[in-house]
Every structure is written in structure tokens, then in C-alpha cells.
């Protein structure tokens, strides 16, 4: 099932998408007031069967007639993110000089985990603010986002997929100069609007083999990134086991799994984003982010 949060006026609404037909079945009226996509994920055993039963009986609206928001517009806490999780990207990042002075191309031996502030989240087609005066080295990172369904701590690799509700797309927009100059990644990753997310929250039952998914990022129509999810250094079970070892994961938490080679700093000279550029991120079966740099 593909869930969306959308607006067709002043209010946020919840819908189930039929992407092939280009329509949303609005299910807001089936839910108690205040229940959004996060609330559905928190109690999916209750709400999932209800939506399956009733979705054919509610009003439909064209996808083109509404504004899609991030599926979870305000996450309950920061997005968990993973750095240098594709071999070729780890090498290009090491060569770039934005990682360490040694310009190391060594692969990490454990997942590198950081976060993006909740206020960085924005919609799948919203403008991304360029923040002039704060950064002049803006970059893109297309990624698969894993949405946690059943929370827990100390989750093993073997149990991990049982805690996955589904998937979404994330563009981990990065201010590279802030990332480099502050010697940590939170500020460079967390500027407002620098986490486009969506367009859908897709339940795991729609994805037969997550490792076979293909990720692609384009800038102004030029393909910059392309990778199979099977090429992750640390796979989804390993990421869930690592994060949950001492941190309780909660329903609705999002783990961005890392970006492949082809980011702007991987080029010589770097290809930083400029105002007016359009970045598109797509993953098989999960839709497409399309954001313009404002």
C-alpha cells in the first residue's frame, strides 16, 4: 500500500495512492481526528486491514490536483542517516578532501551513523532553500529510506525485517562547506528543507526484494547516481541491528541507508547545486522526488 500526506487547501489529509491510475483515495474520514500516516504506522495491525477493506469505497482525487507533503511531515525525532555506505562513494568522498585531511579511501568497518533534524524534512516536490550566506557548496544524495513499523531495542539481524513497516525516498541534501568546516555532519545535513521525502510511504509487502531495487539521481536531466541496493556495504538488517543495539527504535522512525557514488563533490571540479537546478531521485516502485533549488 502506498500512503501519502497531501493538502488540497489548508488541511493535511491522508490518502492511499493508485500510482498506475494517478489517483488518491482519501481515507481521512475513516480515521479519528488527528491520525496521520505516522499514526497509521504506529497501529498498522488495526488500520491496515481497515484501509484494505474500505479504500475502494471512498472518494478519489487526481494526484495532479493536490500538493503532496512528506509522508510523515513532522517525524517524532531526527532522521537516522548512514554515511559512506557504498564502496565507490566511500572512495570518492575520501578523495574529495571533505572527509579527513588524509583523504582516506578506506571503507568503514562499522556503519557511520549521523542524523538530520526533523525541521529539514520537506515535500517530494517542494523547493529546496539554497540558504545563501550560510552555504555556497550545496550537494545532493539520493537514498532509500527505511520506515520502522514495530519498535524495539537490541534487534538482531534475523529479526530486523520484522520491524520494517516499509520504505520511502530521501534526498540527503548537504551543505558540504558546513560539513567540512564544523568537523561533524549535523549542521551540514540539517538546514531547513534539506530532507525532501516521499512521495509515498510504501508498505514492505509491495517490495518483493529490496536488494534488487535500483536507485537513480538526476540533476537537470543528467544522470549523476545509479546503483542497486544490493551494493550497500552494510545492509538493512545490519543497520537496524547497529542503531537498535542501545537505542530504542520507534514506529515511524526513518533510517536513510546511504548514497551511492556520483555526488557533486565526486567530480573534479565539484558540481555543486545552483539556484534553479532540479534534482530528481527515484527508486524502483517507490516513485520520484523532484525538487528545485530555490
257-273 pLDDT, tens digit per residue, is 999 999 999 999 999 99
> What does the pLDDT read at residue 94?
86
Is pTM beyond 0.95? Reply is yes
pLDDT beyond 60 at 47: yes
The residues facing 179 across adjacent strands are none
Q: What percent of the chain has pLDDT over 90?
A: 92
Residue 262 phi, psi dihedral angles, 5° rounding: 115, 10
Average pLDDT in the 270-289 region? 98
In this prediction, residue 8 has a pLDDT band, given cuts at 50, 70 and 90, of: confident
pLDDT tens per residue across span 14-36? 999 999 999 999 999 999 999 99
In this prediction, residue 216 has a pLDDT band, given cuts at 50, 70 and 90, of: very high
Distance, in Å, from the CA atom of 164 to the CA atom of 95, rounded to the nearest integer, reads 34
| Contacting residues for 133 by C-beta, under 8 A, at least 6 apart | none
Q: What percent of the chain has pLDDT over 70?
A: 98
pLDDT beyond 90 at 100: no
> What does the pLDDT read at residue 101?
55
Residue 13: left (phi > 0), alpha (psi -120 to 50), or beta?
A: beta
Helices (H), the chain: 37-42, 44-54, 87-96, 176-181, 186-189, 236-244
Distance, in Å, from the CA atom of 145 to the CA atom of 117, rounded to the nearest integer, reads 15
pLDDT tens per residue across span 101-125? 555 678 999 999 999 999 999 999 9
What is the grid cell recorded at 58? Answer: 471512498
Return the sign of the alpha-carbon dihedral for residues 90, 95, 101, 104: positive
Average pLDDT in the 146-158 region? 98
pLDDT tens per residue across span 171-209? 999 999 999 999 889 999 999 999 999 999 999 999 999
Q: Pick the closest to residue 232 from 254, 257, 256, 213 (CA basis).
A: 257
Segment among 5-14, 187-196, 266-275, 285-294 with least mean pLDDT: 5-14
pLDDT beyond 70 at 42: yes
> What does the pLDDT read at residue 104?
66
> What does the pLDDT read at residue 85?
97
The residues facing 226 across adjacent strands are 216
Amino acid at each position: 500500500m502506498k500512503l501519502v500526506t497531501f493538502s488540497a487547501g489548508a488541511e493535511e489529509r491522508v490518502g492511499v495512492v493508485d500510482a498506475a491510475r494517478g489517483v488518491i483515495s482519501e481515507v481521512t474520514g475513516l480515521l479519528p481526528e488527528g491520525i496521520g500516516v505516522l499514526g497509521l504506522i504506529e497501529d498498522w495491525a488495526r488500520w491496515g486491514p481497515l484501509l484494505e477493506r474500505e479504500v475502494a469505497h471512498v472518494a478519489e482525487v487526481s494526484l495532479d490536483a493536490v500538493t503532496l507533503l512528506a509522508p510523515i511531515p513532522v517525524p517524532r525525532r531526527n532522521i537516522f542517516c548512514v554515511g559512506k555506505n557504498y564502496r565507490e562513494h566511500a572512495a570518492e568522498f575520501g578523495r574529495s578532501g571533505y572527509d579527513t585531511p588524509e583523504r582516506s579511501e578506506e571503507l568503514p568497518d562499522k556503519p557511520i551513523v549521523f542524523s538530520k533534524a526533523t525541521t529539514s524534512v520537506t515535500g517530494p516536490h517542494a523547493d529546496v532553500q539554497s540558504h545563501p550566506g550560510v552555504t555556497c557548496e550545496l550537494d545532493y544524495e539520493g537514498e532509500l529510506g527505511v520506515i520502522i513499523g514495530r519498535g524495539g531495542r537490541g534487534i538482531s539481524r534475523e529479526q530486523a525485517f520484522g520491524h520494517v513497516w516499509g520504505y520511502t525516498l530521501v534526498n540527503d541534501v548537504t551543505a558540504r562547506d558546513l560539513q567540512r568546516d564544523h568537523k561533524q555532519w549535523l549542521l551540514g545535513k540539517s538546514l531547513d528543507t534539506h530532507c525532501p521525502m516521499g512521495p509515498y510511504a510504501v508498505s514492505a509487502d509491495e517490495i518483493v526484494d529490496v536488494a534488487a531495487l535500483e536507485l537513480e539521481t538526476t540533476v537537470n536531466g543528467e544522470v549523476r547516481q545509479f546503483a542497486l541496493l544490493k551494493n550497500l556495504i552494510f545492509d538493512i538488517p545490519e543497520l537496524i541491528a547497529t542503531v537498535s543495539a542501545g537505542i530504542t527504535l520507534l514506529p515511524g522512525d526513518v533510517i536513510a541507508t546511504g548514497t551511492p557514488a556520483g555526488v557533486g563533490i565526486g567530480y573534479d571540479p565539484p558540481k555543486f547545486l545552483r539556484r534553479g537546478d532540479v534534482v530528481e531521485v527515484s527508486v524502483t516502485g517507490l516513485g520520484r522526488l523532484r525538487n528545485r533549488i530555490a
